[in-house]
């Protein structure tokens, strides 16, 4: 089966099979944003489950700006022992473990960041999200260069800790995606305006990371196929960015799409023809494959071995990315690799409250609770109520906010 075959990246590193665990934000760090034994246990479980590539949830390069409470933030070497333990367990059984690097920009909740930054001083347009995020201020040139240096420094620390690669988070409305989008980036300097200028930020991040980690260490990116917003980052622009990153030497490009304002990464508004092929972004990948030879990973929608094999056989993707199926069953990759036709039981999570059900963050919250169960050695509660889960997350976030406030005051 194609899915069992190894994949060699441009840098020379070989991934043992074609299944990748896509990033999911675990929120299992300490209240001061350090790695924990819970993360070590969780990634040991996924490594044992058979994935070829393990990609962590977003690790923040600046503790002042978090995507969620208890994200891990890596700014220096003060937590090397915990990072080494995480890397050691996540790379068991010949598994590659990559640290995903992120800066949320304006997509940092107001309860965590009363003052946020972005390419331009433009807030969210979605009225349901607007109240949860502060109006950002535009970054200065010096601050942009500092963020680029932070990505490189965190990548170097990850390598020294034993992680076998890094991935830049350039999708889902976070800072790199904000720079790429003409809707969110309306600067008139070298960092904005033309696509050439808007992609400068991500290109400089890649080059800085590459200089820090060397030519034989894998560097990948998670990139939107499009934002699916009027005036936003388009499919054609995305393909041009892929071409540039491939020219620079990117080792793996993971294709996703949407933002929390338009959550297509969760399967929202996908065409029936796309659902039948399981891979949400496979049509985009087919177009990209005509332009570049860089290895691609398509994430979103895969539920069966047949769907994964078909995507690989088409040549449109080199790796299949799984996320939610690995929460419901961490051993799902081993089943697939053994030839099992068992389908993943992933299904939509609903609260019965339409405005809530329309928000991507609701399902994210449900799966976040299940990740905590996995880290404790338990099975996912597959029938857990969406509404009850939402109320639990609201309570947990409020408590974490209170504790973080006390910690900062101290």
Looking up tokens 């006390």, which residue turns up? Answer: 406
346: Cα within 13 Å, side-chain hemisphere: 21
* Structural domain boundaries enclosing 136: 2-348
Strands 53-55 and 96-102, sheet pairing: parallel
pLDDT of residue 267: 47
**Within-domain flag for 211:** yes
pLDDT of residue 398: 56
Q: Are the CB atoms for 332 and 19 separated by under 8 Å? A: no
85: Cα within 13 Å, side-chain hemisphere: 12
Q: Roughly how many angstroms between the first and final C-alpha of the chain, as a whole number?
A: 57
**Within-domain flag for 385:** no
pLDDT of residue 151: 98
- DSSP helix/strand/coil, 3: helix
Tokens coding 240: 């041009």
pLDDT of residue 129: 76
157: Cα within 13 Å, side-chain hemisphere: 22
Q: How many CB atoms lie within 10 A of CB 187?
A: 17
pLDDT of residue 263: 53
**Within-domain flag for 356:** no
**Within-domain flag for 136:** yes
**Within-domain flag for 377:** no
Instruction: Tell me the C-alpha distance between 214 and 217, whole Å.
Output: 6
Count structural domains, the chain.
1
pLDDT of residue 353: 74
Backbone region of residue 201 per phi and psi (left: phi > 0; alpha: psi in -120 to 50; beta: other values): alpha
Q: Are the CB atoms for 390 and 362 separated by under 8 Å? A: yes
> Can you count the helices (H) and strands (E) in the chain?
16, 13
Angle formed by the axes of helices 141-161 and 200-213, to 10°? 40
Residue (of 76, 89, 1, 95) closest to 33 by Cα position: 76
Q: What angle do CA 154, 78, 203 make, to 5 degrees?
A: 5
DSSP, residue by residue, 89-102:
HHTGGG-EEEEEEE
**Within-domain flag for 353:** no
pLDDT one digit per residue (tens) for the chain, 410 residues: 899 999 999 999 999 999 999 999 999 999 999 999 999 999 999 999 999 999 999 999 999 999 998 999 999 999 999 999 999 999 999 999 999 999 999 999 998 999 999 999 999 887 777 888 999 999 999 999 999 999 999 999 999 999 999 999 999 999 999 999 999 999 999 999 999 999 999 999 999 999 999 999 999 999 998 776 667 888 999 999 999 999 999 999 999 876 666 555 444 444 554 455 577 899 999 999 999 999 999 998 999 999 999 999 999 999 999 999 999 999 999 999 999 999 999 988 877 777 666 666 677 888 989 999 999 999 999 887 666 656 665 555 555 555 545 444 44
Q: Kindly report the pTM of this predicted structure.
A: 0.91
**Within-domain flag for 398:** no
Looking up tokens 């409470």, which residue turns up? Answer: 69
Tokens coding 63: 């503790």
**Within-domain flag for 381:** no
Q: Which residues contact 378 (CB under 8 A, 6 or more apart)?
A: none
């Amino acid at each position: 089966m194609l899915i069992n075959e190894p994949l060699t990246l441009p840098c020379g590193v070989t991934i043992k099979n074609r299944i990748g665990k896509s990033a999911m934000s675990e929120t299992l760090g300490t209240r001061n944003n350090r790695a924990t034994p819970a993360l070590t246990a969780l990634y040991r479980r996924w490594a044992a489950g058979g994935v070829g590539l393990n990609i962590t949830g977003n690790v923040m390069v600046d503790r002042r700006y978090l995507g969620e409470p208890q994200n891990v933030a890596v700014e220096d070497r003060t937590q090397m022992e915990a990072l080494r333990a995480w890397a050691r367990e996540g790379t068991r059984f010949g598994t590659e473990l990559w640290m995903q690097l992120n800066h949320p920009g304006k997509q940092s909740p107001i309860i965590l960041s009363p003052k946020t930054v972005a390419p331009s001083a433009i807030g969210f347009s979605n009225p349901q999200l607007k109240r949860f995020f502060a109006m950002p201020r535009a970054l200065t040139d010096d601050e942009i260069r500092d963020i680029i240096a932070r990505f490189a420094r965190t990548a170097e620390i990850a390598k020294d800790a034993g992680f076998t690669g890094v991935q830049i988070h350039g999708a889902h409305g976070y800072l790199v995606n904000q720079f790429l989008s003409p809707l969110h980036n309306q600067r008139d300097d070298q960092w904005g305006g033309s696509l050439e200028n808007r992609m400068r930020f991500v290109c400089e991040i890649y080059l800085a990371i590459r200089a820090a980690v060397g030519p034989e260490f894998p560097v990948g990116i998670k990139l939107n196929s499009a934002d699916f917003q009027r005036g936003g980052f388009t499919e054609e622009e995305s393909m041009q960015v892929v071409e540039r990153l491939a020219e620079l030497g990117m080792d793996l490009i993971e294709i996703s799409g949407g933002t929390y304002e338009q959550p297509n990464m969760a399967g929202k508004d996908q065409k029936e023809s796309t659902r039948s092929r399981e891979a949400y972004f496979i049509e985009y990948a087919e177009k990209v494959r005509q332009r570049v030879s860089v290895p691609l990973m398509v994430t979103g929608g895969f539920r069966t071995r047949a769907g994964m094999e078909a995507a690989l056989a088409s040549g449109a993707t080199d790796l299949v990315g799984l996320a939610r199926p690995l929460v419901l069953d961490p051993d799902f990759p081993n089943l697939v690799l053994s030839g099992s036709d068992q389908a993943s039981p992933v299904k939509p999570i609903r609260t019965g409250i339409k405005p809530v059900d329309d928000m991507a963050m609701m399902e994210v919250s449900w799966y976040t609770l299940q990740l905590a169960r996995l880290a404790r050695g338990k099975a996912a509660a597959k029938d857990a109520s969406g509404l009850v889960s939402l109320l639990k997350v609201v309570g947990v976030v409020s408590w974490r906010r209170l504790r973080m406030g006390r910690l900062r005051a101290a």
